[in-house]
Amino acid sequence: MTSKIKIILIFLIISITTNIKANNFSLKSNYKYCNHHNFTYFLFDIYDIYLCLNDKNFLKYSKIYKNNFSIFIQYNLDFKKEKLAKSSIEEINRYHNIDNTEKYYQKLLSIFPNVKKSDIIEARYNQSEVKLYHNGNFTGIIKDIYFSKIFLDIWLNENNKYQDMIKDLYQ
C-alpha cells in the first residue's frame, strides 16, 4: 500500500470516529446535532468539547448567539476550579478587553466545580444567560448577557487561536 493511501485511510478513520462520537453524544444530550473536537495541548489530551443545538442553520459565529445551544466539555484530566477560572479569564482577555477581571473571576469561582477525569461540564445558553451543570447537576448561572457571551467565546470566537477547534465545532 502506498504511503498516500495509508494517509488517506488514517484520515478517514479519524474523521469517521469523530463523527460517531458526536452523533452518540447528540443522542445523550437531547439535541439534534452535536459537533465534536478533541482539544489537545502539547500532546496532552485535555478535553473533548461538543457544540450541540437543534438547528444547523445557526452554526456560524454570526448566528450562534441567536439560538439556544449547549457546550459540553468532557475532561480528560483533573482540574481545580481555581485553575479553570484563571485560565477562563486569560482566554476571555485574549478576545475581549474586560475591566472587571476580579469580578468575573470571582463569579466563575462561585459556579465552577473541581473536575475529575471523565466529568462533564455543560454550559447551556438560552439567549439571555448561561446555566452551568456538572455531571448533570446545576452549579450556577451567569445572568449578565455580555459576560455570558464572552465566556462562551472562549470556545466559539471565530478568531480563536485554535482554528481546528472552530472548524470542527462549526462544521
What pLDDT digit, counting tens, does each position of 100-128 carry?
899 999 999 999 999 999 999 999 999 99
Res 43: pLDDT? 85
CATH of the domain at 78: 3.50.70.10
Residue 26's pLDDT is what?
A: 44
CA dist., res. 93 & res. 38, Å (int): 23
The pLDDT, as a whole number, for residue 3 is 53
Cα 134 from chain centre: 14
User: In the chain, which stretches have pLDDT less than 70?
Assistant: 1-29
Q: How far apart are CA 18 and CA 41, in angstroms?
A: 18
Using alpha carbons only, give the angle 155, 162, 85 rounded to the nearest 5 degrees.
Answer: 45
Parent domain of 10? 3-169
How long is the chain?
171
The domain tally of the chain equals: 1
**122 forms bridges with which residues in the sheet?**
72, 133
Could you give the CA distance from residue 78 to residue 112 in angstroms, rounded to a whole number?
13
pLDDT at 41: 87
Alpha carbon distance 161, 97 (integer Å):
16
